[in-house]
Amino acid sequence: MELSSIKYVIDALAYSLYAFLVGGLLLGLHRKIVARIQGRPGPPVIQYILHTIKFYFKEITFPITAGNPLYLFIALMSIMVWMSALYLGVVFNTSLLILMGLYVLQKIVEHGCGLSSGSPYGKLGGVRSVFSAAAEIPLFTVIGTIYLLTKSLIIEDIIRYQEIHGPIIFQLPFAAFAFFVLLLSKAPNSPFAIVKDKSIVSGYMTEHFGLLESLIMIADGIAWFVLLWIFIAVFIGPLLVSDPLLTLVGMVVLTFLISLLCALTPLLTPNHSVMIQIIISVLALVDLLRRIIVG
């Protein structure tokens, strides 16, 4: 037994807890801001965390229509995906490509969650999740554009590049916008949140209740933290990411902006949502091609 292994495991668990608490509080803040803009008092900021704890102690049953073991494993996979993204991105500052791969795995989680439950609402949520994969195309082009500028996809190198040349957000504003749309599409109640549209109950999470819902909520909290951190690290850089307190301030500001957009825009229909995302993808692609041709 090595003491260092115990230390690594404790560090990893502490990091996850921190990410979940911060992500959960920010998602609570998001609900609060949306409510205030709509003239409601809204739930307390800690509501997301309270819900997660409450559901953790609730009874579950496997629905008769559910396809086990996928129905159960997909909730565990959701946490695995975002904890891995947290460690590879935030702790080890590895490649953006790995993070993109993990983000695509999240689509498998949403799809599997919906289809394994056997519920028509869940299935529709899963199918819509595949539609909204259009939101990932800007991610490809954003990564290409960043590579052209920094000649590296390792987050550590990108942060170092910004130490010398200043924040990338001023050099690649459209890439930052495209990534921001990706963040927006992941936010609850956003115009692109067709996956969890209330017209299909809770989308892919309809049949995942109690303990399993709590596990997915833990993953969503960590996911929110990771996505905001990646945006700050890749586009604003050491200015904010060098100090944890400043990173938190950046996350709060980003959540505030996203909440404003979520509160002031209606939920788009699936075809409109996908069309807008495709238009942004095409514009991001044109931006990338222009940079390749012009140099």
Residues interacting with other proteins, by CB under 8 A?
1-2, 4-6, 8-9, 11-13, 16, 56-62, 68-69, 72, 75-80, 83-84, 86-88, 91-92, 211, 214-215, 218
CA atoms within a 13 Å half-sphere pointing along the CA-CB vector of 131: 20
Q: How is residue 57 written in tokens? A: 């102690």
Nearest distance in Å: CB 31, other proteins? 24
Smallest distance from the beta carbon of 230 to other proteins, in angstroms? 17
Amino acid at 20: F
> Which of 6/249 has CB closer to other proteins?
6
Rounded Cα distance between 104 and 84, Å, is: 13
CB of 102 to other proteins, least distance (A): 10
* List of long-range contacts for 149-157, beta carbons under 8 Å, 24+ apart: 149/291, 153/95, 153/96, 153/97, 154/93, 154/94, 154/95, 154/96, 155/89, 155/93, 155/94, 155/95, 155/96, 155/230, 155/233, 155/234, 156/93
Minimum CB distance to other proteins smaller for 221 or for 237: 221
> At closest approach, how far in Å is the CB of 124 from other proteins?
19
Residues 75 and 78: their CA atoms lie apart, in Å, by 5
Instruction: Report DSSP state, residue 162.
Output: H
**Beta carbon nearer to other proteins, 102 or 241:** 102
Question: Between 92 and 256, whose beta carbon lies closer to other proteins?
Answer: 92
Q: Tell me the C-alpha distance between 191 and 259, whole Å.
A: 11
Least distance from C-beta 279 to other proteins, angstroms? 36
Interior angle at CA 16, CA 105 and CA 156, nearest 5: 70
CB of 12 to other proteins, least distance (A): 4
Nearer to other proteins, 117 or 162 (CB): 117
For other proteins, the closer of residues 117 and 277 by Cβ is: 117
